[in-house]
């Protein structure tokens, strides 16, 4: 056996999943990252949730419970989808580890017959699912309920599914004609699921504990070994057995016993005969930590993929995976996103309206839905104008609050800051839009205009030029709250005024800025949002409006917003 690198706390968590132990002891400190990284949240939640809740505080358990609830939501959604598919006569199956072994998973593969794909799309759309514009293709559906409950459905035809799982012999594998029913849901046969799980383990370049548990369950229940041998392409049986051998070694190190399966015996014989495979297996399992990540194991598997790859794109993918999986994913993402349309959402208003809080939460929610999103601070700061500001300070001792004293500066300053904001737009916002991301800008050109109006430096002609040069957002939110509410919510506004040496009463400053935002909203026909409403209700309204805009982008580029 190799050396298993587990702390006492991690060992206690592993013991909860030991099939031979009826008793276990919870650790003194909960190894949250270890549980999340090994995809054990859902199964742990179902096994010992009440005991965890009695021992650990809610803050420690929150990320584990959040993931578990997301899994519950996905499984509930699968029951709804299955019923809808059955009503429409759609032959289907779901590939989702959480159904049977309660392992944390991300997206669900919903496999349907080739001729039924369009009917399946319409069913998912009728159930509230939509396709985000991302690298996952035209049939990757998403549905969100609240901030944490998200279900991903990767709809795929049986033909595409076989082609993607390249080690299968397409003529011999049975997918939709060889399904099982678990808890009312259609899933692949044990044998198909085993081969698929091993292949996906190789693709992900990491083996968490949940995958070891899932594959061990499939191995123990696998009966048709001849089917497995015949359903995969020539040359892939040996690397498949090597993967099984490695998983068994991991299982043995975790629980002190081997997986009971005929395939384990076959894998052992192959490794006894081959010095190379025996050496590789011994070398890569010498020291084990979880999630298991062996360069030898994955390079060996990807080398087989490279040798058997057909077409330059597949070879390119195989090569970059061998070099660096993270580099591979990044390259493929950049290639995919480079031609995608992007979305710009801007949030403006006085301090305390919730711009930053809404923007950051929206970014998190959209990223969770596999919609690449980015927070960007669109606050004006001197860039091109910095040398001029330095010269004015040295020559006249003026700061920005003093510029209104000069008749020349009152006329030209608004033109100068156009160059500043073009720089800010290009480097803080446009670069993310260029990568195909949905950008949530906390403050935008409207906040700069409000500041120019307050400082007595507003120039109507220059502002019109600026609004033409700075791209119009897909959606604009201008929030409004009374100045006394702003003062209560935000306690650092006065500190910011002091830093800028603005000698003005805080309430008066907020009142002036609030009026400026109202003038801007009226002149540009942007409805103002009452930000004194209950926060969660308001945020959900904003989220839903952004989601509708995202789905319909490119249909109508006219500026949109939500009203009171």
Domain at 62, CATH number: 3.30.460
| Boundary-marking domain end, from 164, 188, 212 | 188
Cβ atoms of 322 and 456 within 8 Å: the answer is no
In a domain, residue 446? The reply is: yes
Confidence of residue 560 (pLDDT cuts 50, 70, 90): very low
Q: Give the range of the structural domain holding residue 154, as residue numbers without chain letter.
A: 31-188
- Distance (Å, rounded) from C-alpha 441 to C-alpha 420? 16
The stretch 532-546 carries a mean pLDDT of 91
327: exposed, middle or buried (C-beta count within 10 Å: 0-12, 13-18, 19+)? exposed
In a domain, residue 9? The reply is: no
Confidence of residue 218 (pLDDT cuts 50, 70, 90): very high
Cβ atoms of 426 and 360 within 8 Å: the answer is no
The stretch 142-157 carries a mean pLDDT of 86
Q: Can you say how many angstroms the Cα of residue 526 is from the centroid of all Cα atoms in its chain?
A: 31
Mean residue pLDDT of the chain comes to 84
Q: 223 pLDDT exceeds 70?
A: yes
Question: pLDDT, tens digit, for every residue of 399-455?
Answer: 776 777 888 888 888 999 999 999 999 999 999 998 888 999 999 999 999 999 988
Higher pLDDT, 300 or 202: 202
User: How many other CB atoms are found less than 10 A from the CB of residue 299?
Assistant: 16
Structure-token match 């056996």, residue found: 1
174: exposed, middle or buried (C-beta count within 10 Å: 0-12, 13-18, 19+)? middle
Label each residue of 146-160 as H, E or C.
CCCEEEEEEEEEHHH
What's the half-sphere exposure (Cβ side, CA atoms, 13 Å) at 174? 11
Secondary structure class of 530 (helix, strand, coil): strand
In a domain, residue 69? The reply is: yes
| Boundary-marking domain end, from 188, 216, 247 | 188
In a domain, residue 308? The reply is: no
Spell out the residues 6+ positions from residue 312 whose beta carbon is closer than 8 angstroms to its own: none
Q: 278 pLDDT exceeds 50?
A: yes
In a domain, residue 2? The reply is: no
Spell out the residues 6+ positions from residue 62 whose beta carbon is closer than 8 angstroms to its own: none
Structure-token match 């859902």, residue found: 42
Confidence of residue 561 (pLDDT cuts 50, 70, 90): very low
In a domain, residue 322? The reply is: no
Cβ atoms of 458 and 449 within 8 Å: the answer is yes
Higher pLDDT, 178 or 115: 115
Q: pLDDT over 90 for what percent of the chain?
A: 45
Its sign, for the CA torsion 50, 52, 54, 57, is negative
Q: What letters, b where the CB count within 10 A reaches 16 and e where it falls short, cover 197-216?
A: bbbebbbebbbbbbbbbbbb
pLDDT of residue 162: 85
Q: Can you say how many angstroms the Cα of residue 9 is from the centroid of all Cα atoms in its chain?
A: 29
Written as six digits, the tokens of 17 are 């999943």
Q: What is the pTM of this model?
A: 0.74
Q: Which of 377, 379, 375, 403 is nearest to 389 (CA)?
A: 403
Spell out the residues 6+ positions from residue 448 whose beta carbon is closer than 8 angstroms to its own: 380, 417, 421
Number of domains composing the chain:
2
The CATH number assigned to the domain holding 494 equals: 3.40.50.300
- Distance (Å, rounded) from C-alpha 542 to C-alpha 560? 12
In a domain, residue 253? The reply is: no
Going by the DSSP 8-state scheme, the letter that residue 426 receives in this structure is: I
In a domain, residue 402? The reply is: yes
Confidence of residue 294 (pLDDT cuts 50, 70, 90): confident
| Boundary-marking domain end, from 159, 188, 217 | 188
Q: 385 pLDDT exceeds 80?
A: yes
Spell out the residues 6+ positions from residue 471 whose beta carbon is closer than 8 angstroms to its own: 344, 425
Q: Which of 229, 225, 215 is nearest to 259 (CA)?
A: 215
Secondary structure class of 124 (helix, strand, coil): helix
- SS3 breakdown of the chain: % helix, strand, coil, rounded to 5? 60, 10, 30
Cα angle, residue 449 at apex, residues 445 and 454 outer, rounded to 5°: 145
Alpha-carbon Rg for the chain, nearest whole angstrom, is 29
Cβ atoms of 485 and 352 within 8 Å: the answer is yes
- Distance (Å, rounded) from C-alpha 522 to C-alpha 512? 15
Cis before residue 475, ω within 30 degrees of 0?
Answer: no
pLDDT of residue 557: 43
Question: pLDDT, tens digit, for every residue of 336-349?
Answer: 554 456 899 999 99
Give one word for 128, left, alpha or beta, with left for phi > 0 and alpha for psi -120 to 50: left
């Amino acid at each position: 056996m190799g050396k298993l690198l587990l702390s006492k706390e991690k060992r206690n968590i592993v013991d909860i999943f030991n099939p031979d132990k009826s008793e276990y002891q919870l650790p003194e400190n909960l190894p949250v990252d270890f549980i999340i990284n090994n995809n054990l949240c859902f199964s742990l939640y179902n096994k010992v949730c009440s005991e965890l809740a009695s021992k650990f505080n809610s803050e420690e358990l929150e990320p584990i419970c959040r993931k578990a609830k997301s899994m519950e939501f996905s499984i509930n959604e699968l029951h709804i989808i299955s019923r809808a598919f059955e009503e429409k006569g759609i032959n289907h199956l779901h590939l989702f580890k959480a159904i049977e072994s309660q392992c944390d998973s991300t997206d669900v593969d919903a496999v349907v017959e080739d001729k039924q794909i369009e009917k399946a799309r319409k069913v998912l759309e009728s159930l509230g699912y939509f396709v985000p514009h991302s690298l996952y293709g035209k049939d990757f559906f998403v549905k969100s309920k609240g901030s944490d409950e998200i279900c991903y459905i990767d709809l795929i035809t049986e033909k595409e599914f076989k082609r993607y799982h390249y080690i299968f012999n397409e003529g011999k594998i049975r997918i939709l004609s060889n399904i099982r029913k678990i808890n009312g849901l259609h899933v692949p046969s044990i044998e198909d699921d085993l081969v698929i799980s091993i292949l996906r383990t190789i693709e992900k370049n990491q083996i968490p504990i949940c995958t070891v548990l899932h594959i061990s369950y499939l191995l123990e229940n696998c009966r048709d070994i001849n089917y497995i041998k015949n359903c995969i392409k020539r040359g892939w049986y040996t690397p498949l057995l090597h993967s099984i051998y490695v998983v068994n070694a991991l299982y043995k190190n975790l629980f002190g016993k081997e997986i009971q399966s005929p395939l384990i015996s076959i894998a052992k014989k192959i490794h006894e005969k081959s010095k190379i495979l025996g050496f590789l297996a011994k070398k890569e399992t010498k020291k084990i930590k979880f999630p298991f990540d062996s360069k030898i194991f994955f390079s060996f598997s990807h080398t087989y993929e490279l040798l058997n790859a057909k077409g330059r794109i597949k070879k390119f993918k195989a090569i970059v995976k061998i070099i660096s999986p993270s580099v591979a994913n990044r390259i493929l993402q950049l290639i995919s996103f480079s031609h995608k349309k992007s979305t710009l959402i801007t949030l403006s208003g006085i301090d305390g309206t919730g711009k930053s809080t809404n923007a950051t939460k929206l970014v998190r929610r959209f990223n969770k839905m596999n919609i690449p999103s980015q927070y960007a601070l669109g606050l004006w700061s001197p860039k091109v104008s910095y040398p001029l500001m330095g010269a004015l300070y040295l020559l006249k001792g003026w700061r920005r609050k003093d510029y209104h004293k000069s008749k020349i500066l009152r006329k030209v300053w608004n033109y100068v800051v156009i160059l500043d904001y073009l720089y800010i737009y290009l480097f803080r916002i446009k670069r993310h839009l260029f990568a195909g991301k949905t950008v949530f800008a906390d403050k935008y050109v409207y906040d700069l205009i409000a500041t120019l109006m307050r400082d007595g430096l507003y120039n109507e002609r220059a502002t019109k030029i600026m609004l033409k040069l700075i791209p119009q957002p897909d959606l604009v939110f201008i929030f409004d709250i009374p100045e006394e509410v702003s003062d209560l919510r935000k306690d650092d506004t006065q500190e910011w005024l002091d830093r800028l040496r603005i000698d003005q009463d805080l309430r008066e400053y907020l009142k002036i800025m609030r009026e400026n935002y109202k003038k801007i909203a009226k002149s540009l026909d942007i409805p103002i949002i009452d930000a004194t409403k209950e926060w969660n209700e308001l945020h959900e309204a904003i989220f839903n409006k952004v989601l509708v805009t995202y789905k319909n982008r490119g249909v109508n580029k006219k500026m949109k917003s939500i009203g009171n």
